[in-house]
Amino acid sequence: RPKLSGSELLCELKEKVSVSTLTSDLPPFSSLSWAATLPPAPLTSDLGPYGAVPWCRRPGRCATLDSAKRSVRPLDYPSGLCNSHDAVLRFNAAPTTGYEKDVGSKTTIRLINSQVMASDDHRFLSSSLYSSGALVAWDPAPFSADLTQWYNRTDYPIFLQYQRYRRLHPLQPFYILHPRFEWQVWQRIQDNMAEPIQRNPPSSGLLGTVLMMSLCDTVHVYEFLPSRRKTELCHYYQRFWPRGLQLRRCHPLLYEKNLVKRMNQGSDRDIYTHGRVTLPGFRKLNC
């Protein structure tokens, strides 16, 4: 098929992908004893739209702070940059404490994979790192996105950890992404690449970006496409490379970056100096 332009890609994404989350009335979960701990309404009806509140005249800008780290020295993100956004999305175990100068301190949403929830290293149930903002969890599900099949064979024990966390923090908003969403995003990548890509869900980075595009008027993504401050380090919060991290076989990361580069509405200079990509929110897109 002919190669789509950036705006055609954006419209396709808007039309064919919808952020959905598990709700307490959704089978097969609805018949389980803990169903009531799932949110009654989907994330998109509870959160946002950021920037559309009538008393706020600022355009609704959101940021997603990628965990990729491009500098080890104190750096040149104006410290207010992240905090000045209406909403900030962070990934997995990426901290703010101690790194405020670089990454700000605001967290509106934290998108976590099920590995973070389950591994002892991340102290998911006890660390205060996860307590600000709303949590959104996801787990690589079978391509069919069949909920029963997935429930019986999750990659990591996402549901068990979800129940435990809810008992400890019943007031914090906590959503679980519907696996349909991850595969809809995957399909957008595949349909726009010439060669077959691995059938594994996109990385948290792209899932979070699309999530914010459905909640915000404008989304700035930092350091997903590397700036001139790129280093060999993988994360700003780790001085070493966790084993097997980089372009882990499991995510079509290179293709994701290619797609985001094509959709970028900002300048190449913005990428070079700030690692910043600018994407329109779906509500603002005229397709």
Q: What is the closest distance, in whole angstroms, from the C-beta atom of residue 113 to ligand NCC in the complex?
A: 4
Residue of minimal Cβ distance to ligand NCC: 205
Dmax over CA atoms of the chain, in Å, equals: 53
Kindly list the residues in this chain that would bind ligand NCC in the complex (CB under 6 A). Answer: 66-68, 91-93, 113, 115-116, 203-205, 224, 234, 242, 244-245, 248, 251
Tally of CB atoms within 10 A around 107: 23
CB of 94 to ligand NCC, least distance (A): 7
Q: Give the residue with the Cβ less far from ligand NCC, 63 or 93.
A: 93
Nearest approach in angstroms of CB 286 to ligand NCC is 28
- Could you tell me the CA-to-CA distances from 216 to 8, 88, 203, 210, 284 in Å, in that order? 19, 10, 20, 10, 9
Nearest approach, Cβ of 55 to ligand NCC (angstroms)?
Answer: 33
The least CB distance from residue 71 to ligand NCC, in Å, is 13
**Structure tokens, 60:** 């609704």
Give the orientation angle of helix 6-16 with respect to helix 204-213, to 10 degrees.
80
- Choose between 54 and 244: whose C-beta lies nearer to ligand NCC: 244
The pair of structure tokens assigned to 29 is: 């979960």
